[in-house]
Amino acid sequence: MSPTKFKMGIAVWLGIALLGASPAAADDNPDPSQKEKAIEKTVAQLKPLVERLSALSAELSKGKRTNEEIVDTLFAATLTRLPKESEQATAVKRLQDAKDRTVACRDIVWSLLNSKEFLKMHDLDKDIAASLHAINSLSEVLDAKPGPEKQDSKKPDSK
């Protein structure tokens, strides 16, 4: 067996072990309720990412970064790549035309979260309509205004 095939075999085995599934167990046509459950599970796993992206967009919009730097950062954080020239131009224009830079940043993040590329990255591209519907349930997370960190509700005893 060649070293390349061996490495590929190990990678497949590790992937299967980490995901807890076997190729033989995969069903090409799972019933709709299984699809919905899988989508809901993935979306639940994406909630922390959306929370971080919301906080990041608020932080970037309040900072001294250029529009280009903001767009680069949002693309890198969401799609793990830098934007193409046309994407950058569109997103920078959105930031320039915005009355509220924070809202514009969130709009950009939201458009990236709803992109086919993001759906494919997270294996949500099989049933795009159902996936987008599920991701839209995360809109309240993105729209939430990040506040100060919560303090412990228990006050120390004053003696």
Ordered by start, the domain boundaries in the chain are 30-142
74 against 147, higher pLDDT: 74
Identify the residue whose tokens are 């979306």.
43
The residues near 1 (Cβ < 8 Å, ≥ 6 apart) are: 9
Confidence at residue 146, expressed as pLDDT on a 0 to 100 scale: 54
Confidence at residue 13, expressed as pLDDT on a 0 to 100 scale: 42
47 against 29, higher pLDDT: 47
* Distance, CA of 73 to CA of 77 (rounded, Å): 6
* Distance, CA of 58 to CA of 43 (rounded, Å): 22
122 against 35, higher pLDDT: 122
Which among 123, 35, 118 has a CA at the least distance from the CA of 77? 118
Question: Tell me: the pLDDT tens digits for 11-21?
Answer: 444 444 444 44
Segment 117-129 mean pLDDT? 87
**pLDDT at 8 exceeding the cut of 50:** no
Confidence at residue 88, expressed as pLDDT on a 0 to 100 scale: 97
Share of the chain above pLDDT 70, in %: 70
Which among 155, 85, 144 has a CA at the least distance from the CA of 109? 144
Q: Point out the least confidently predicted range of 42-51, 74-83, 96-105, 127-136.
A: 127-136
Confidence at residue 28, expressed as pLDDT on a 0 to 100 scale: 55
Q: How far is CA 122 from CA 86, 126, 137, in A?
A: 24, 10, 16
Cβ pair 58, 144 in contact under 8 A: no
Question: Tell me: the pLDDT tens digits for 78-116?
Answer: 999 999 999 999 999 999 999 999 999 999 999 999 899
**pLDDT at 7 exceeding the cut of 50:** no
The residues near 27 (Cβ < 8 Å, ≥ 6 apart) are: 34
